């Protein structure tokens, strides 16, 4: 079954499986959003079924909540959970300092709130997301619908004075209508090309009226799990500064396909 997956999905599943294996009984967990996070939810559901783990899960989107519930995970709100042990989520880009761009799936606001309300955040990814300098991926910024065009003008003006290559901000669309986040907001995708100073950019963006949050995750991610199609996984830990290699045995993952 796993062998039928595209190489990119085998890589994502490898990372998800490795992260799921690190989850301990009784944990309060933040569940990310996106295709890699969906593999994680399946792997966790399999462990709950097979080992009887007791987990309390806080999803970062309606999509993830629906999948988690469907697979039998216990889902609560962040306010009910209080504080989380660990959040596991995907990313669109990560750099050598484990600074992330997130929000490709439009869930950056809940993702950032949940990740920062956790003792640890672990990113699960394939190797294509690793960059030396952030910015090739269009950087998502969540803005409130009221006056979004004014917010966009202010953002583009601001970008002209910052250490980035491009300044164009495009409204994300869903067909012929603006994309709407789970919080009822819109997303502007910034074509920056290169982000010279992520910290400065993040602070500046969040000063613009109408901006709710931006997709830069700085000093939030503690470890990145990088999966490869052959089951090889690299775990890079920002806290210990170490890197370890593991191998996932795909035959152990075949049970998750019962639920798909
Ligand atoms: C959603 C995100 C996702 O984590 C990011 O887009 C990566 O998605 P995928 O795992 O599908 O590549 O930030 O808002």
Distance (angstroms) between ligand 1 centre and the Cα of 252 equals: 25
Cβ 227 under 6 angstroms from ligand 1: no
Instruction: Look at residue 56 in the predicted model and tell me its pLDDT.
Output: 98
Helices 35-51 & 62-70 angle (0-180, nearest 10): 30
Atom 4 of ligand 1, nearest CA residue: 90
Instruction: Look at residue 182 in the predicted model and tell me its pLDDT.
Output: 98
Domain ranges of the chain: 2-128+219-259, 139-211
Distance (angstroms) between ligand 1 centre and the Cα of 36 equals: 7
Cβ 112 under 6 angstroms from ligand 1: no
**Of the candidates 55, 214, 220, which has an alpha carbon nearest to the alpha carbon of residue 140?**
214
Is 139-211 CATH 1.10.1060.10? no
**Of the candidates 187, 20, 192, 208, which has an alpha carbon nearest to the alpha carbon of residue 108?**
187
Give the separation between CA 146 and CA 216, rounded to whole angstroms: 23
Instruction: Look at residue 258 in the predicted model and tell me its pLDDT.
Output: 61
The number of the ligand 1 atom at minimal distance from the alpha carbon of 90 is 4
Helices 35-51 & 7-21 angle (0-180, nearest 10): 50
Instruction: Look at residue 2 in the predicted model and tell me its pLDDT.
Output: 85
Contact (CB, 8 A) for 187 and 172: yes
Cβ 216 under 6 angstroms from ligand 1: no
Q: What is the pLDDT along the chain (260 residues), one digit of tens a residue?
A: 788 999 999 999 999 999 999 999 999 999 999 999 999 999 999 999 999 999 999 999 999 999 999 999 999 999 999 999 999 999 999 999 999 999 999 999 999 999 999 999 999 999 999 999 999 999 999 999 999 999 999 999 999 999 999 999 999 999 999 999 999 999 999 999 999 999 999 999 999 999 999 999 999 999 999 999 999 999 999 988 999 999 999 876 667 776 55
Contact (CB, 8 A) for 181 and 148: no
**Catalytic one of 46, 93, 111, 213:** 111
Distance (angstroms) between ligand 1 centre and the Cα of 90 equals: 5
Q: Is 111 a catalytic residue?
A: yes
Instruction: Look at residue 252 in the predicted model and tell me its pLDDT.
Output: 64
Ramachandran angles phi, psi of 120, nearest 5°: -140, 145
Give the separation between CA 9 and CA 27, rounded to whole angstroms: 26
Q: Which residues neighbour 241 within 8 Å (Cβ) at sequence distance 6 or greater?
A: none
Which residues partner with 237 through β-bridges? 223, 242
For the chain, how many helices (H) and strands (E)?
A: 7, 16
Instruction: Look at residue 3 in the predicted model and tell me its pLDDT.
Output: 81
Give the separation between CA 167 and CA 193, rounded to whole angstroms: 9
CATH code for the structural domain at 2-128+219-259: 3.40.50.1360
Contact (CB, 8 A) for 189 and 138: yes
Instruction: Look at residue 259 in the predicted model and tell me its pLDDT.
Output: 54
């Amino acid at each position: 079954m796993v062998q039928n997956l595209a190489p990119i999905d085998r890589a994502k599943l490898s990372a998800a499986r490795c992260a799921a294996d690190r989850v301990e009984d009784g944990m309060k967990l933040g569940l990310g959003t996106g295709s890699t996070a969906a593999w994680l939810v399946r792997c966790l559901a399999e462990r709950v079924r097979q080992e009887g783990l007791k987990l309390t899960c806080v999803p970062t989107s309606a999509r993830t909540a629906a999948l988690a519930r469907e697979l039998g995970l216990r889902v609560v709100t962040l306010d009910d959970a209080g504080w989380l042990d660990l959040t596991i989520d995907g990313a669109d880009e990560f750099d050598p300092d484990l600074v992330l761009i997130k929000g490709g799936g439009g869930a950056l606001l809940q993702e950032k709130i949940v990740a920062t309300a956790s003792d640890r955040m672990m990113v699960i990814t394939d190797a294509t997301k690793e960059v030396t300098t952030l910015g090739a991926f269009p950087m998502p910024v969540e803005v409130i619908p009221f006056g979004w065009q004014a917010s966009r003008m202010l953002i583009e003006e601001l970008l002209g004075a910052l250490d980035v290559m491009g300044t164009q901000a495009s409204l994300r669309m869903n067909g012929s209508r603006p994309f709407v986040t789970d919080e009822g907001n819109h997303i502007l995708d910034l074509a920056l090309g290169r982000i010279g100073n992520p910290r400065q950019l993040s602070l500046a963006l969040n000063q613009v009226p109408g901006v709710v949050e931006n997709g830069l995750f700085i000093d939030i991610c503690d470890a990145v799990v990088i999966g490869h199609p052959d089951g090889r996984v690299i775990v890079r830990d920002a806290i210990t500064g170490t890197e370890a290699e593991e191998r996932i045995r795909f035959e152990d993952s075949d049970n998750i396909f019962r639920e798909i």
